[in-house]
């Protein structure tokens, strides 16, 4: 199944519970938007594109839940639902992007009846999910062209099917290269503190028969300095107009060491993840998560951290554009100057969506 999808028979949202992988593969269902908001906040679903799709389907649930009998009340209900969903996680711009797209349908005056509006919101959320898969496939083809037969690829966090509706961004590129028959090997950072590389990327590589080795985060520099990495691919939760990239904590360190060792570093970023309203990455909000994600880690059955340890737990960091070789988008690989070329890619996509759809 897809990571996030609408169940048309039961009229609810289904997701893979990513907290339980790789030990347990479990599908969970939600029938109201507050539950969807919880699923995003608690990382039942994660990854910027998947979060956007989940929020869109959450809006479809909100439209179904609304008891409004007037257009004004219906719009008020959906606006309130959007605010609840938007507040769940601040860094991934796909969340706000998806909600804005749903609200554009809600306020489309060409749709008259409330029943038609409810159907239109669901239709648009399904369209957004389907488009995500198609966009990922396009990025995969563009990115795979950068991979040579025999390459060893460094990957950070999880950017595969689990981070999107299906297929994936950076790991989708790697999957495409593997399916093209290229003999590749992937070094997967474990990606602390929630170990998305160890838990999720390794599991996905096994599903798709991609050769890999799991490495501790601090080993990445060693493998790059000793010539054992040919290219790096990562995802992004937000990109600023100048090409700065916000991604899972630890990405900045990977990019700096890659640059020092002459290794190409490519974020794989759909244009929906680019935020042209932010001139640089310094303006990207960085989510700080619960200290328990750090202090509850155990080793040999015992807690690693001292009792009462003070913790800082930023979920993301920002990689300045000067460390970015190129940005893989659905329109191809964008190279510097990003302030010009990235804007062009985004505005090309926006031009396709100017006309409200029913």
Burial bucket for residue 84 (CB in 10 Å: 0-12, 13-18, 19+): middle
Confirm if 192 and 154 have CB atoms less than 8 A apart: no
Rounded to whole angstroms, the Cα distance separating 217 from 188 reads: 9
Rounded CA-CA distance 219/234 in Å is 16
Taking the CA atoms of residue 307, residue 312, residue 313 and residue 314 in that order, the dihedral angle to the nearest 10 degrees is 180
Phi/psi at 247 (5° precision): -150, 180
For the CA atoms of 308, 310, 314, 318, what is the dihedral angle to 10 degrees?
-150
Of 162, 167, 166, the residue nearest 191 (C-alpha)? 162
Active site residues: 237
Q: Which residues pair with 13 in a beta bridge?
A: 6, 30
- Note if the bond before 263 is cis, omega within 30 degrees: no
Print burial letters for 128-148: b (CB count within 10 Å at least 16), e (below 16). Answer: bbebbbebbbbbbbbbbebbe
Cβ contact 188:201 at 8 Å = yes
Reduced to 3 states (helix: H, G, I; strand: E, B; else coil), residue 15 is strand
Cα dihedral 329/349/346/354 (nearest 10): -160
Residues 293 and 70: their CA atoms lie apart, in Å, by 45
Are residues 49 and 161 in contact, defined by beta-carbon separation less than 8 angstroms?
Answer: no
Q: Indicate the SS3 state at residue 110.
A: coil
């Amino acid at each position: 199944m897809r990571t996030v999808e609408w169940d048309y028979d039961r009229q609810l949202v289904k997701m893979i519970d990513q907290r339980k992988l790789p030990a347990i593969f479990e599908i969970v269902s939600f029938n109201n938007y507050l539950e969807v908001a919880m699923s995003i906040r608690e990382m039942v679903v994660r990854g910027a594109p998947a979060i956007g799709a989940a929020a869109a389907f959450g809006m479809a649930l909100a439209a179904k839940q609304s008891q409004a009998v007037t257009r004004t009340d219906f719009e008020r209900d959906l606006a309130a639902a959007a605010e609840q969903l938007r507040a769940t996680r601040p860094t991934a711009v796909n969340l706000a992007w998806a909600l804005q797209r749903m609200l554009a349908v809600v306020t489309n005056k060409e749709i008259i009846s409330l029943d038609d509006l409810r159907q239109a919101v669901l239709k648009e959320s399904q369209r957004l999910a389907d488009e995500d898969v198609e966009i990922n496939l396009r990025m995969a083809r563009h990115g795979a062209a950068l991979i040579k037969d025999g390459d060893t690829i460094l990957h950070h966090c999880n950017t595969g099917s689990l981070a999107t509706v299906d297929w994936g961004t950076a790991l989708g590129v790697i999957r495409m290269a593997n399916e093209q028959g290229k003999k590749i090997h992937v070094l997967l950072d474990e990606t602390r503190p929630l170990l998305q590389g160890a838990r999720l990327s390794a599991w996905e590589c096994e599903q798709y028969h991609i050769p890999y080795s799991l490495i501790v985060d601090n080993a990445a520099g060693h493998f790059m300095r000793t010539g054992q990495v040919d290219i790096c691919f990562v995802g992004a939760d937000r990109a600023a107009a100048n090409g700065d990239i916000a991604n899972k904590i630890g990405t900045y360190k990977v990019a700096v060491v890659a640059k020092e060792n002459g290794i190409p570093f490519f974020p794989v970023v759909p244009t929906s993840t680019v935020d042209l309203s932010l001139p640089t990455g310094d303006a990207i909000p960085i989510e700080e998560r619960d200290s328990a994600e750090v202090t509850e880690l155990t080793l040999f059955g015992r807690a690693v951290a001292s009792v009462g340890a003070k913790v800082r737990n930023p979920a993301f960091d920002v990689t300045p554009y000067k460390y970015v070789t190129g940005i893989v988008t659905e329109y191809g690989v964008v190279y510097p100057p990003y302030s010009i070329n990235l804007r062009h890619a985004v505005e090309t996509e926006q031009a396709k969506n100017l006309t409200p759809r029913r």
